[in-house]
């Protein structure tokens, strides 16, 4: 899990406007991105599910909760996310 989480964090950190919160230590990563609600909807349209952050105390609509998955799944997810962020 730790290696897959580190891979996810590294890939997310390379995306423009995406900020990983703190130093993740569980099976998910919190990210801040202005317009996250729209990003989440576009991800869903592409078959990817991420949790919205505003359902967690202290977080707002510009937060997403992304589950840690294997490297291949993470790489495919990041490719889709990068395309959405570029649009």
Segments making up each domain of the chain, as ranges: 2-86
The mean predicted confidence, pLDDT, of the chain is 96
pLDDT value at residue 50: 97
Biggest alpha carbon distance in the chain? Answer: 32
Which residue do the tokens 């909807």 mark? Answer: 41
pLDDT grade for 87, boundaries at 50, 70 and 90: confident
> Bridge partners of 52?
64
Please give the average per-residue pLDDT across 3-32, as a whole number.
95
Topology of 2-86 in CATH?
A: 3.90.1150
Percentage of the residues of the chain whose pLDDT score is greater than 90 = 98
pTM: 0.92
Please give the average per-residue pLDDT across 18-46, as a whole number.
95
């Amino acid at each position: 899990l730790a290696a897959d989480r580190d891979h996810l964090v590294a890939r997310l950190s390379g995306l423009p406007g995406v900020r990983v919160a703190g130093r993740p230590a569980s099976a998910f990563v919190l990210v801040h991105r202005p317009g996250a609600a729209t990003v989440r909807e576009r991800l869903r349209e592409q078959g990817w599910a991420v949790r919205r952050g505003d359902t967690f105390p202290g977080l707002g609509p510009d937060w997403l909760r992304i589950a840690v998955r294997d490297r291949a799944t993470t790489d495919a997810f990041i490719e889709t996310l990068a395309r959405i962020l570029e649009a």
